[in-house]
Structure 1
Amino acid sequence: MDIILGVGTLLIVLLAMTLFLNFAPYGKKGLQALSGAACATFLPQAFLSYAIGGVFDIKFLQEIGDLAGSLSGVAVGFLTCLKLGVSPVFAVIVGLVLHDFKLLPAFLAAYIISFAIKFIEKKVPEGLDLITVILFAPAVAFLLASIMSPGVIALLHQIGSAVTAVGDNNPYVLATILGLIIPVTGMTPLSSMVLTSLLGLTGLPMAIGALTCTGSSFVNFIMFRQLKIGNASKAFAVAIEPLTQIDIIAKYPLQLYGTNAIIGVVNACIVTFSGLVINVTGMATPIAGAIVLFGFNEPIRAVVTIVTVAIVSILLSLVIGKTLNKFNMTRLNFNLPRVKKHAN
Structure 2
Amino acid sequence: MAVISGLGLLLVTLAAFSLFSMKAPKGSEAMSGMASAAVATFLVEAVHRYISGDLLGVSFLGEVGSTAGSLGGVAAAIMVPIMMGVNPVYAVVAGAALGGYGILPGFIAGYVVGFVAPLLEKYLPTGLDVIVGALCVAPLARGIAYISDPVVNAAMEHIGSMITAATDQSPALMGFMLGGLMKMICTSPLSSMALTAMLGLTGLPMGIACIACVGGAFTNGMIFKMLKLGDKSSTIAVMVEPLTQAHIVTKHPIPIYGSNFFGGGIAGIGASLLGIVCNAPGTASPIPGLIAPFAFNSPVKVILALAIGVAGGILAGYVGGHFFKKHYAESDAHMEG
**How would you bin the TM-score normalised by the shorter chain?**
over 0.9
Q: TM-score normalized by structure 2? A: 0.94
Separation (CA, whole Å) in 1 of partners of 2:150 and 2:90: 26
Residue 26 in structure 1 maps to residue 35 in structure 2: no
Aligned match of 2:156: 156
Query: Equivalent residues in 2 for 1:55-74 (5 A)?
Result: 55-74=55-74
Q: CA 1:330–1:253 in structure 2 vs 1: closer, same or farther (change >3 Å)?
A: farther
Separation (CA, whole Å) in 1 of partners of 2:327 and 2:12: 36
Aligned match of 1:229: 229
User: Which residue type is aligned with residue 185 of structure 1?
Assistant: I
Residue 191 in structure 1 maps to residue 191 in structure 2: yes
Q: CA 1:260–1:146 in structure 2 vs 1: closer, same or farther (change >3 Å)?
A: same
Separation (CA, whole Å) in 2 of partners of 1:240 and 1:180: 18
Aligned match of 1:288: 288
User: Which residue type is aligned with residue 151 of structure 1?
Assistant: V
| Greater than 4 Å deviation, 4+ residue runs | 329-332
- Unaligned residue ranges in structure 2 (runs of 5+): 333-337
Q: Which moved more, 1:183-192 or 1:295-304?
A: 295-304
Q: Which moved more, 1:196-205 or 1:178-187?
A: 196-205
Aligned match of 1:269: 269
Aligned match of 1:210: 210
Separation (CA, whole Å) in 1 of partners of 2:103 and 2:222: 34
User: Which residue type is aligned with residue 110 of structure 1?
Assistant: G
1:224 to partner: Cα distance: 0.7
Separation (CA, whole Å) in 2 of partners of 1:85 and 1:293: 34
Aligned match of 1:336: none
Separation (CA, whole Å) in 1 of partners of 2:241 and 2:331: 23
Separation (CA, whole Å) in 1 of partners of 2:82 and 2:251: 29
Q: TM-score normalized by structure 1? A: 0.92
Separation (CA, whole Å) in 2 of partners of 1:95 and 1:331: 52
Aligned match of 1:41: 41
Q: Which moved more, 1:303-312 or 1:238-247?
A: 303-312
Q: Secondary structure at the match of 2:19?
A: helix
Q: CA 1:277–1:228 in structure 2 vs 1: closer, same or farther (change >3 Å)?
A: same
Contact 1:278 1:296 in 2 (8 A): yes
The Cα offsets for residues 238-296 of structure 1, whole Å up to 9 and x where unpaired, read as 11111111121111100000000022222211211112212222221212222222222
Contact 2:47 2:295 in 1 (8 A): no
1:311 to partner: Cα distance: 1.9
User: Which residue type is aligned with residue 52 of structure 2?
Assistant: I
Separation (CA, whole Å) in 1 of partners of 2:299 and 2:114: 46
Query: Equivalent residues in 2 for 1:230-249 (5 A)?
Result: 230-249=230-249
Aligned match of 1:339: none
Query: Equivalent residues in 2 for 1:140-155 (5 A)?
Result: 140-155=140-155
Aligned match of 2:314: 314
The Cα offsets for residues 82-130 of structure 1, whole Å up to 9 and x where unpaired, read as 1222211121111110121111111111211221221111112111212
User: Which residue type is aligned with residue 26 of structure 1?
Assistant: K
Separation (CA, whole Å) in 2 of partners of 1:316 and 1:125: 59
Q: Secondary structure at the match of 1:186?
A: helix
Separation (CA, whole Å) in 2 of partners of 1:281 and 1:324: 34
Q: CA 1:305–1:176 in structure 2 vs 1: closer, same or farther (change >3 Å)?
A: closer
1:330 to partner: Cα distance: 8.9
The Cα offsets for residues 204-260 of structure 1, whole Å up to 9 and x where unpaired, read as 111110010001111111111111011111111111111111121111100000000
1:329 to partner: Cα distance: 5.8
User: Which residue type is aligned with residue 265 of structure 1?
Assistant: G
Count of equivalent residues: 332
1:328 to partner: Cα distance: 2.8
Q: Which moved more, 1:149-158 or 1:78-87?
A: 78-87
Q: Secondary structure at the match of 1:115?
A: helix
Separation (CA, whole Å) in 2 of partners of 1:226 and 1:146: 51
1:186 to partner: Cα distance: 0.6
Separation (CA, whole Å) in 1 of partners of 2:289 and 2:157: 22
Select the structure that is richer in helix. Answer: 2
Q: CA 1:85–1:301 in structure 2 vs 1: closer, same or farther (change >3 Å)?
A: closer
1:131 to partner: Cα distance: 2.9
Separation (CA, whole Å) in 2 of partners of 1:323 and 1:141: 51
Separation (CA, whole Å) in 2 of partners of 1:214 and 1:127: 49
Contact 1:78 1:95 in 2 (8 A): yes
1:331 to partner: Cα distance: 7.3
Separation (CA, whole Å) in 2 of partners of 1:125 and 1:34: 31
Contact 1:51 1:291 in 2 (8 A): no
User: Which residue type is aligned with residue 87 of structure 1?
Assistant: N
Aligned match of 1:15: 15
The Cα offsets for residues 43-66 of structure 1, whole Å up to 9 and x where unpaired, read as 111121223333212211111011
